[in-house]
C-alpha cells in the first residue's frame, strides 16, 4: 500500500521525505512544536461556564497499570439537561473508567451513565451504548459535560460555543425507557488530546463504558443496543466488527449513521467547507499515534497551519466555524496542497488511515446503516461501499439513504439534517430489535 503511493509523495513535495529524516530529531525539534500546539489546548482549569461550577471534576487522562479494561475508577452525579422532566426522567452519573487504545495500552476515559426511570414496554429493560458525533476535542467539549448545560457561549478569548446536539437522541432513548451509556472518547495521557476518529480506540471505549456502568447501577442482564452517528457511527462499526475485544458485552442490534469508514476521503471532502475544523481534530488524533507520524505532519505544516490547528483544538466544534469555516487548507502546508490531500501522501499517516478503515470485519447482529445522498461531511459513496462489503460477508444490514434536496453552501446541513429528520424512525427500529 505504501509503495503504491510513492508518486503522490513526490507530487506533494519533498516535505514527506524530509519528515522521515526528522524522526531521530523529534526529541529536540518536534517537541517544541508539540508544546506550541499543546499550549493552545490545555489550561490549568476548565472554562468557567457558570453552569459547570458544581459539576464533578476528574483528573486528566492517565496511563493505567494492573487494572483491566472496563474497571470503574470514579463516578459522580451529573446534571442532565432534560433529565428531570416527566417523560425523560433519569438519574445521571459521570464516570471515569479504564479502557484500551488501538495500540493495546490501558488508559483512563470518561463518559456518562444515564439511568432511565421511564416505563419500558417489552422484555428486559435495555441499555444503549451511545457513541457521540464530533463535539470538539477540547476537554470542555466532552458530551458528559455539555449535556449538563445544553448550550453555552464563552466570549472570553476566542468565541467558544458548547452545544450538546446529541441531547435529542439521548432524551428520546431515555423517554422510551432505555438506559444510556456514552463515552467521551479517550485522550492521550501525554498530550491530553482526544484520540479523534481513532475507530479502534473509540470502539473499545464504548464497550468498556458499558462494563464500567455495570459496576454502578446498570443490571448486567440488560440487553445492549448500539447507537452512533458520524464519528460515533465509525466507533460502533468497529465495536461490531471486532466483538472479541469485549465478549461479555454482546450487542443485540445497532443503528449506524454516516460513519467515516475511510477517513482520508472525508478529510478531502470537507476541506474548504464550514466544518474545515475537523481537519485539525484529525491532525491531533494522528499526532499522538507515533513519532513517525508526528515527524511527517509537523514538518509539513506552515506556521499559519499550526495557528489554525491550535485555534481549532482549543474550542468546540460549533466554534471552529469562526476559526476555519469555509477556508481552504492549501496555505496550511509547505507544499501548497490541501491538508487532507497531503496527509494521504504521507506513508505512515496513510498506513494509519488504512488501519482505521471499516470493512475488515463483519457485524454479527442486525444493523440499520444509513447515509445521505448529498452529505457534505461524509461522502455517501463510502457508506454505500461499507454496506456492500458487510452484506457480501453475510451481515444483516438494513439500508436507508436520505434523498432530500441538497442544501447549498457546504454548511454541514446535509450531514446533520437527516440525522434529526429520521431520529424517531431510527430509534423505533433499534427499540423494536431490543424487544424481540
The domain limits of the chain are 3-39+263-354, 50-262+357-435
What's the CA gap between 114 and 128, in Å, rounded? 10
Q: pLDDT value at position 297?
A: 96
Q: pLDDT value at position 14?
A: 30
What's the CA gap between 10 and 20, in Å, rounded? 14
Does residue 322 carry a pLDDT above 90?
no
Does residue 54 carry a pLDDT above 60?
no
Three-state secondary structure call for residue 80: coil
Does residue 42 carry a pLDDT above 70?
no
| Residue pair 49/161 in contact by the 8 Å Cβ criterion | no
Percent of the chain with pLDDT over 70: 85
User: Higher pLDDT residue, 396 or 25?
Assistant: 396
Which of the 8 DSSP states describes residue 28? Answer: I
Average pLDDT, integer, range 39-65: 53
Class of CATH domain 50-262+357-435: alpha beta
Q: If pLDDT is split at 50, 70 and 90, which confidence band does 60 have?
A: confident
Q: If pLDDT is split at 50, 70 and 90, which confidence band does 258 have?
A: very high
What's the CA gap between 397 and 40, in Å, rounded? 43
Q: If pLDDT is split at 50, 70 and 90, which confidence band does 320 have?
A: confident
Instruction: Classify burial at 147, counting beta carbons within 10 Å of its beta carbon; exposed 0-12, middle 13-18, buried 19 or more.
Output: buried
* Strand boundaries in 262-341, DSSP class E: none
Q: If pLDDT is split at 50, 70 and 90, which confidence band does 32 have?
A: low
Q: pLDDT value at position 246?
A: 97
Name the least confident of 154-158, 273-277, 351-355, 394-398.
154-158
Average pLDDT, integer, range 293-298: 95
Single pTM value for the model: 0.88
Q: Which three cell numbers stand for residue 424?
A: 424517531
Distances (CA, A) of 405 to 223, 374, 414, 418, 423: 37, 8, 9, 11, 18
Q: pLDDT value at position 105?
A: 95
What's the CA gap between 230 and 202, in Å, rounded? 12
Which of the 8 DSSP states describes residue 301? Answer: B
Average pLDDT, integer, range 373-395: 98
Q: Which three cell numbers stand for residue 144?
A: 458528559
User: Higher pLDDT residue, 254 or 1?
Assistant: 254
DSSP string, 345-397: HSHHHHHHHHHH-TTSS--SS-EEEEEETT-SSS-HHHHHHHHHHHHHTT--E
Amino acid at each position: 500500500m505504501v509503495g503504491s503511493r510513492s508518486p503522490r509523495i513526490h507530487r506533494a513535495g519533498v516535505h514527506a521525505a524530509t519528515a522521515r529524516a526528522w524522526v531521530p530529531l523529534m526529541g529536540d525539534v518536534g517537541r517544541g512544536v508539540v508544546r506550541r500546539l499543546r499550549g493552545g489546548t490545555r489550561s490549568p482549569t476548565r472554562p468557567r461556564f457558570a453552569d459547570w461550577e458544581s459539576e464533578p471534576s476528574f483528573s486528566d487522562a492517565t496511563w493505567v497499570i494492573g487494572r483491566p479494561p472496563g474497571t470503574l475508577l470514579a463516578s459522580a452525579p451529573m446534571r442532565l439537561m432534560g433529565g428531570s422532566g416527566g417523560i425523560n426522567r433519569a438519574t445521571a452519573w459521570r464516570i471515569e473508567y479504564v479502557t484500551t487504545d488501538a495500540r493495546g495500552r490501558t488508559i483512563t476515559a470518561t463518559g456518562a451513565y444515564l439511568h432511565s426511570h421511564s416505563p419500558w414496554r417489552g422484555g428486559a429493560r435495555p441499555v444503549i451504548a451511545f457513541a457521540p458525533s464530533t463535539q470538539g476535542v477540547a476537554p470542555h467539549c466532552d458530551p458528559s459535560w455539555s449535556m449538563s448545560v445544553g448550550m453555552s457561549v464563552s466570549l472570553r478569548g476566542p468565541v467558544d460555543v458548547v452545544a450538546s446536539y446529541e441531547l435529542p437522541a439521548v432524551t428520546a432513548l431515555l423517554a422510551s425507557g432505555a438506559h444510556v451509556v456514552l463515552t467521551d472518547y479517550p485522550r492521550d495521557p501525554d498530550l491530553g488530546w482526544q484520540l479523534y476518529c481513532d475507530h479502534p480506540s473509540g470502539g473499545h471505549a464504548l464497550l468498556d463504558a458499558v462494563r464500567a456502568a455495570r459496576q454502578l447501577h446498570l443490571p448486567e442482564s440488560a440487553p445492549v443496543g448500539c447507537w452512533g452517528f458520524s464519528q460515533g457511527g465509525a466507533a460502533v462499526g468497529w465495536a461490531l466488527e471486532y466483538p472479541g475485544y469485549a465478549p461479555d458485552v454482546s450487542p443485540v442490534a445497532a443503528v449506524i449513521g454516516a460513519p467515516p469508514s475511510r477517513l482520508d476521503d472525508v478529510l478531502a471532502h470537507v476541506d474548504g467547507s464550514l466544518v474545515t475544523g475537523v481537519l485539525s481534530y484529525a491532525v491531533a488524533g494522528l499526532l499522538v499515534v507515533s513519532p513517525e507520524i508526528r515527524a511527517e505532519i509537523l514538518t509539513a505544516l506552515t506556521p499559519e497551519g499550526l495557528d489554525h490547528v491550535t485555534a481549532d483544538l482549543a474550542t468546540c466544534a460549533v466554534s471552529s466555524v469562526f476559526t476555519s469555516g469555509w477556508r481552504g487548507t492549501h496555505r496550511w502546508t509547505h507544499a501548497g496542497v490541501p491538508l487532507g490531500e497531503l496527509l494521504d501522501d504521507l506513508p505512515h499517516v496513510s498506513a494509519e488511515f488504512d488501519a482505521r478503515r471499516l470493512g475488515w470485519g463483519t457485524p454479527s447482529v442486525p444493523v440499520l446503516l444509513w447515509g445521505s445522498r448529498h452529505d457534505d461531511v461524509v461522502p455517501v459513496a463510502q457508506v454505500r461501499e461499507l454496506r456492500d462489503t458487510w452484506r457480501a460477508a453475510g451481515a444483516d444490514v438494513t439500508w436507508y439513504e436520505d434523498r432530500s434536496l441538497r442544501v447549498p453552501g457546504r454548511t454541514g446541513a446535509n450531514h446533520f439534517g437527516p440525522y434529526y429528520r429520521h431520529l424517531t424512525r431510527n430509534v423505533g427500529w433499534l427499540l423494536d430489535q431490543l424487544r424481540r
